[in-house]
């Protein structure tokens, strides 16, 4: 009788966990978005082309070393732990699949080792309680640069997209709501006809994922606006979103404005770089003050997305944003004001996105030196650019988001998880192992009391 009661108790416990998991999958896209901000990009990593091996579209020459072909640090659990400790609540993992990771070109089969490596990194994030987004990034431009294809070429593109996403979805179908899929990255569409094509491709992506069943039947999916450009997205895609039977879609745009501030690296005949952003940071006598694209412009752009998408049930995912940090020299120039401009830009974008319920995801490449968007130096787990991170943290604090990356103490039993699935730390940040003495411990980005 005792054995029977124990079995029934264990069964009831499993049923409760299953019910909780199902409830989580039933979160709306807006509810999931609230739990994801702010986000961080594992940039220039899993989407990189392995030039050293001559990897190309539809071959399998990329290998696992592709991960470090554009930056030099292999992703570890410790890196993701460090990201979580900076307060980020979600990670976007840009991914290549077609570009050097196809084991059978005739069937567009994704290499099993590459799929396993992507899954390993996703697990690092899940272990820390983070939300995760994986996509089909530039990927050699196989689709991103062929959105305007017509006829048999477009039909073939849809077939390939379906095959790729069916495999990805099958591999991750048992993951809970903390994993999201984004169909593409920056699809090259700049008019209504091209956007109509894009919507067809995104419909193929949605249909492929939903058809795999399991948790994929309700998983939140992210579709991209044309060129992930706010104006194109509002002009050509508002009111024309693809159909999702689950009703769980987000819309993705990127924010890289103004070009002269975020990416321009030399003065040109048509205009100069912007070292200074925000009127309070302008430098008298400098020819490098921003002349457009400052706070009011940012507000206008984001408000358009809110009115056309967020207010109509489609949360806005700003999958990338950032600005390069420069070494400023010359008469009438100020490094301090440039540093302040970087901080202000990051803070302002984050604050405005938080206020509108958007998910802002900062771009980070792990490259050091000037003209870079790196916040975290992954090789030694230090902050490379404090101006960027300070701006993000100030916006979080003002929005009431915990900047430590650790949720409040939970009045629940310490989870009985395999030690391999999530590291345990004490409040001094030291990794510990079970059995634990009474006290407060951190696991998966949450504090637990052990009595």
Q: Which residue has the tokens 């701006």?
A: 391
299 flagged as catalytic = no
Q: Which residue has the tokens 């094509």?
A: 197
| CA 450/CA 206 separation, integer angstroms | 43
Strands 221-224 and 249-255, sheet pairing: parallel
| CA 277/CA 341 separation, integer angstroms | 5
| CA 194/CA 192 separation, integer angstroms | 5
- Residue 167 has a CB neighbour count (10 Å cut-off) of 18
Burial of 311 (0-12, 13-18, 19+ CB in 10 A): exposed
| CA 189/CA 226 separation, integer angstroms | 5
Q: 276 with 288: CB under 8 angstroms?
A: yes
| CA 380/CA 94 separation, integer angstroms | 22
Handedness of CA 347, 321, 294, 315 (dihedral sign): negative
Catalytic residue among 186, 202, 252, 294: 186
186 flagged as catalytic = yes
Q: Which residues share a beta bridge with 39?
A: 90, 361
Catalytic residue among 47, 144, 294, 320: 320
What amino acid positions are annotated as catalytic residues? Answer: 186, 320
């Amino acid at each position: 009788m005792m054995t029977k009661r124990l079995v029934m108790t264990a069964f009831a416990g499993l049923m409760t966990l299953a019910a909780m998991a199902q409830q989580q999958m039933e979160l709306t896209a807006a509810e999931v978005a609230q739990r994801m901000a702010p986000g961080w990009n594992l940039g220039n990593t899993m989407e990189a082309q392995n030039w050293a091996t001559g990897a190309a579209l539809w071959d399998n020459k990329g290998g696992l070393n592709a991960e470090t072909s554009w930056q030099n640090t292999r992703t570890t659990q410790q890196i993701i732990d460090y990201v979580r400790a900076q307060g980020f609540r979600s990670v976007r993992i840009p991914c290549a699949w077609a570009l050097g990771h196809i084991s059978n070109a005739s069937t567009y089969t994704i290499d099993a080792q590459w799929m396993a490596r992507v899954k390993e990194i996703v697990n690092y994030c899940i272990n820390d309680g983070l939300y995760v987004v994986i996509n089909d990034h530039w990927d050699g431009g196989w689709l991103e640069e062929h959105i305007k294809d017509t006829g048999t070429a477009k039909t073939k593109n849809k077939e390939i997209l379906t095959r790729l996403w069916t495999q990805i979805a099958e591999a991750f179908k048992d993951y809970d709501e903390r994993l999201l899929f984004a169909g593409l990255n920056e699809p090259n569409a700049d008019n209504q006809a091209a956007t109509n094509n894009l919507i067809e491709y995104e419909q193929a992506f949605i249909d492929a994922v939903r058809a795999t069943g399991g948790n994929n039947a309700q998983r939140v999916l992210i579709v991209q606006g044309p060129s992930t450009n706010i104006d194109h997205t509002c002009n050509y895609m508002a009111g024309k979103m693809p159909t999702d039977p689950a009703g769980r879609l987000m819309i993705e745009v990127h924010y890289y404005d103004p070009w002269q501030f975020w990416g321009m690296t030399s003065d040109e005949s048509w205009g100069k770089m912007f070292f200074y952003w925000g009127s309070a940071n302008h430098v008298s006598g400098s020819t490098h003050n921003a002349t457009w694209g400052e706070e009011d412009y940012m507000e206008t752009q984001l408000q358009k997305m809110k009115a056309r998408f967020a207010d109509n049930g489609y949360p806005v995912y700003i999958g990338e944003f950032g600005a390069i940090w420069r070494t400023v020299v010359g008469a009438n120039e100020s490094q301090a004001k440039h540093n302040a401009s970087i901080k202000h830009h990051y803070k302002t974008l984050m604050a405005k996105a938080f206020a509108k319920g958007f998910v802002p995801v900062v771009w980070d490449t792990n490259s050091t030196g000037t003209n870079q968007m790196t916040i975290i130096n992954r090789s030694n787990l230090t902050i490379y650019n404090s101006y960027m991170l300070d701006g993000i943290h100030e916006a979080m604090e003002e929005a009431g988001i915990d900047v430590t990356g650790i949720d409040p103490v939970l009045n629940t039993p310490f989870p009985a998880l395999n030690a391999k699935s999530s590291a345990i730390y004490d409040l001094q940040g030291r990794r510990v192992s079970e059995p634990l003495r009474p006290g407060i411990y951190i696991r998966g980005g949450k504090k637990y009391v052990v009595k």
